[in-house]
Copies of this chain bind each other. A is one copy, B any other.
Amino acid sequence: MQFYMPTELITGEHCVVENAAKLARYGKRCLIVTGGSAAARSGALQDAEEALRSQGISFTHYAGIEPNPTLASCQEGGRLAQEAGAEFVLGIGGGSPLDAAKAVSVFAANPGMTEEIFYSAKWDHAPLPIVLIGTTAGTGSEVTSVSVLTDSAGKKHSIHDRRVYAALAMGDARYTMTLPRAATLSTGIDAICHCIESYFSKKADPFSRLFSVQGVRLGLPVLRQVAEMGAEEQPTLQQREALYQASILGGMAINPTGTVFPHNVGYYLTEHYGIPHGFASATFLPELLKHVRQQAPELCERFYKACGTGEEELTALAKRVVPVRGIRLSEDEIRAALPRWENNGTVRNTVGTVTMEEIADMLRKEF
């Protein structure tokens, strides 16, 4: 059994402003890293600025993080952090800005570092301290040592490195109240996928499974309610809070295990067809459930019993939340894509054995 998650996590209404004094630990200047407008729309940016000002911390704001952020944007952020003399990096947003903030802090401390060295993890200097404020209930990036970035060839890669754990992470479910319905569903199902994929990783242990199960127990009933809501209806703060907690539990679960094949096969859909990350992973969730039913039936049974759910319910939910796609993959395209999953660590970590034929079959079936 292994556990290592050194981030100080604080969640709750108004936690950012109330815990402003903690920010002073990390320095007098910071670079704020966000995407386009969600950080401000959520209210998180304003709270963060108020908290920084109350501590006399000056800041520069870099709002250049796109969805599925590129390494180039992170390099640019690193350059800005350096220029501004930032002593720490404050990421605000969903998975993209938070993952990017981690990479920005690496580049800020290692000017001129190449993409190759970044991915090799042979960094000369430790990253700047990282503070993260989550505004979606999905990624769990607040509590993981994972950063998923798109390289210069357009391919999503994740790094797992304990040096990119945030020093401090704060989450206030109020910030998720402004999420549009599709984003709530996509991030929500991402959190559920984290919990489930982690549970069925070869690296899972009693601790990680504790987080997985609790994440599903908390998040699943609420996500189902949200999926069934009319277009006009909005989740309550209490529902948002449950989804947020589930996303944190999902993050805690994947730290020691990583994800398994749905995430990695899903990357392909995001890279090539722009399908949002959560929907891309959820596309292959029913396939994972079928796989583990066949290859690890007892574990499967134990999981469903602990979570109070079953394959049918999870499959139905995944199908319900993922929007209909107008995509067709040709046999040639499938054949051309397969090599990326051979000897892929994420795919190999799935319990049982995942063959390339199995992946080809699921791509044929889904598209």
Contacts and interface: CB of A to CB of B under 8 A. Distances in A.
A151 B255 CA distance: 40
A270 interface: no
23 contacts: A1-B9, A1-B10, A1-B11, A1-B12, A1-B245, A2-B8, A2-B9, A2-B10, A2-B11, A3-B5, A3-B8, A3-B9, A3-B143, A4-B7, A4-B8, A4-B9, A5-B5, A5-B6, A6-B6, A206-B218, A206-B245, A210-B210, A210-B214
A12 B6 CA distance: 21
Contacts of A206: 218, 245
Interface in A1-33: 1-12
A6 B1 CA distance: 16
Interface in A189-248: 206, 210, 214, 218, 245
Contacts of A8: 2-4
Chain A contact residues (Cβ within 8 angstroms of B): what range? 10 to 19
Nearest to A217: B210
A206 B217 CA distance: 12
- Top 4 nearest A-B pairs (CB, nearest first) are A6-B6, A3-B9, A4-B8, A1-B11
Nearest to A1: B11
A1 B2 CA distance: 23
Contacts of A245: 1, 206
Interface string A253-284: 00000000000000000000000000000000
Contacts of A4: 7-9
Given A1-B9, A1-B11, A5-B6, 11 more contacts: A1-B12, A2-B9, A2-B10, A3-B9, A3-B143, A4-B7, A4-B9, A5-B5, A206-B218, A206-B245, A210-B210
A168 to B, nearest CB: 9
A1 to B, nearest CB: 4
A143 B9 CA distance: 16
Interface string A138-174: 0000010000000000000000000000000000000
Residue picked from A1, A11, A143, A245, most chain B C-beta under 10 Å: A1
A312 B12 CA distance: 36
A130 to B, nearest CB: 14
A276 B10 CA distance: 36
A159 B249 CA distance: 29
Contacts of A11: 1-2
Contacts of A210: 210, 214
A7 B6 CA distance: 7
A8 B12 CA distance: 26
Contacts of A10: 1-2
